[in-house]
Every structure is written in structure tokens, then in C-alpha cells.
């Protein structure tokens, strides 16, 4: 039985905002459907991809706020999906899911610009917390950009010179660029109890 929306967490978005779009990429069908269902129940707009290649093709034709991708998949793995998201140069944040918890995995994910990563198996409340944090970060970045645009419009209206453009984010890790240029170290969930029904698939 799937979890209902967690009452201890704030709404995924306000009534005035559009739901955040999340792309879920996992070659394990059961895991993909479970992730999709729990995120939908918590107010997110979800699309799914059966592998990394499909996820990259979907990102080419559409914009997503968050990409939740398995690390080990046939065709294209999670790192390739992460690089494709970084190449979009938008506010998309990528969360990697892996069945292999190691410092090397964490460093590789962060080096390529991941916002965070989860180690299978994990609890659904842990998943929702990481996704909610990513959603709030996307909202802050977009709010900051909107305020800057309003400021520039006000400057032009009063005949003042425009302020210099903000520095461009670094090429590598663009998908994980955040306010003030900071990116949190990934949260690794390793509690042995109360695991979700999701377990590592053969490719996870």
C-alpha cells in the first residue's frame, strides 16, 4: 500500500504555483512506478523514463525542475543523464539513486553536479525530504531571478543604467548550481530499520 501525503511536510507547492515537474528514470519497473506514485500523491507532476537514453531524449524535448535517476541503467547511466541535465543550462536539479553507498560514488555525483543522492533501500520520508529540499532550492533560484528581472525593469523605467550581469555558473555542475554558489554535501541514508519497499534492482 502506498503512503499518503506526509502531513508533517509543507505542501509541495502553493495553490498559485504550478506543480514542479519531476522526471523519474529507472530501469526497474517496480521501483519506477513506486517512485512515481508516491511523488504524485505529494503534489508533483511526474513523467517517467525506462532507462537513461529515454530520459535524455525526454529532456531534449521538455523542461524539468528535478530529475530523479538511478545510477546504474542500461544504455545511458545516471551520470550521463546528469551531464545531459547540466547541458540544459536551466534550474534543473538532479538526484541520483544508487545501490552502492561509497565515498567514491558521492564524490563522483557531486563532481558532475548532482544536487544530492540516495542509497537504496531508503524510506519514503527520506525520499520526500530530499525532493522537497531540491524543490525549495529551485524555487529560491527562480525567485531570485524574477526579483532581478523586476529590478532591471524598474531601473529602465527610471532611466537608470542596468546593473552588470551576474557571473555565469561553472560549466561542470551547472545542474546543481544554487544560491550563493553553494551546494550541500549529499545526504547518505543508511538507517537499517523501517526501509521502504524499494530495494536495489539488478541494475541499481
Distance separating alpha carbons of residues 58 and 160, to the nearest angstrom? 42
pLDDT in tens, 24-62: 999 999 999 999 999 999 999 999 999 999 999 999 888
pLDDT in tens, 13-24: 544 467 899 999
Architecture of domain 21-139+171-181: 3-Layer(aba) Sandwich (3.40)
pLDDT tier for residue 164 given thresholds of 50, 70 and 90: low
The C-alpha cell of 10 is what? 509543507
Residue ranges of the domains in the chain? 21-139+171-181
pLDDT tier for residue 101 given thresholds of 50, 70 and 90: low
pLDDT tops 60 at residue 154: yes
pLDDT (average), residues 144-160:
81
Task: Reply yes or no: is the peptide bond before residue 121 cis, omega within 30 of 0.
Answer: yes
- Dihedral sign for Cα atoms in the order 188, 192, 197, 199: positive
DSSP string, 153-185: HHHHHTTPPPPPPPPPPPSTTGGG--GGG--PP
Instruction: Report the largest interatomic distance among the alpha carbons of the chain, rounded to a whole angstrom.
Output: 62
Residue 28 has a pLDDT of 93
Contact 51, 81 (CB under 8 A): no
Amino acid at each position: 500500500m502506498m503512503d499518503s501525503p506526509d502531513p508533517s511536510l509543507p505542501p509541495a507547492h502553493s495553490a498559485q504555483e504550478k506543480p514542479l515537474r519531476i522526471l523519474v528514470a529507472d530501469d526497474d519497473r517496480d521501483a519506477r512506478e513506486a517512485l512515481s506514485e508516491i511523488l504524485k500523491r505529494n503534489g508533483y507532476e511526474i513523467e517517467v523514463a525506462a532507462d537513461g537514453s529515454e530520459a535524455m531524449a525526454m529532456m531534449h524535448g521538455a523542461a524539468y525542475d528535478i530529475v530523479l535517476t538511478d545510477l546504474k541503467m542500461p544504455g545511458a547511466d545516471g551520470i550521463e543523464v546528469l551531464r545531459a541535465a547540466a547541458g540544459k543550462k536551466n534550474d534543473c536539479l538532479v538526484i541520483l539513486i544508487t545501490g552502492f553507498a561509497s565515498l567514491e560514488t558521492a564524490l563522483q555525483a557531486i563532481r558532475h553536479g548532482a544536487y544530492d543522492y540516495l542509497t537504496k533501500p531508503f524510506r519514503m520520508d527520506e525520499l520526500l525530504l530530499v525532493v522537497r529540499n531540491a524543490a525549495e532550492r529551485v524555487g529560491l533560484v527562480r525567485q531570485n531571478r524574477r526579483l532581478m528581472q523586476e529590478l532591471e525593469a524598474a531601473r529602465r523605467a527610471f532611466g537608470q543604467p542596468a546593473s552588470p550581469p551576474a557571473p555565469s555558473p561553472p560549466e561542470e555542475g551547472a545542474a546543481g548550481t544554487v544560491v550563493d554558489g553553494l551546494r550541500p554535501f549529499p545526504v547518505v541514508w543508511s538507517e537499517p530499520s523501517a526501509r521502504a519497499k524499494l530495494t536495489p534492482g539488478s541494475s541499481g
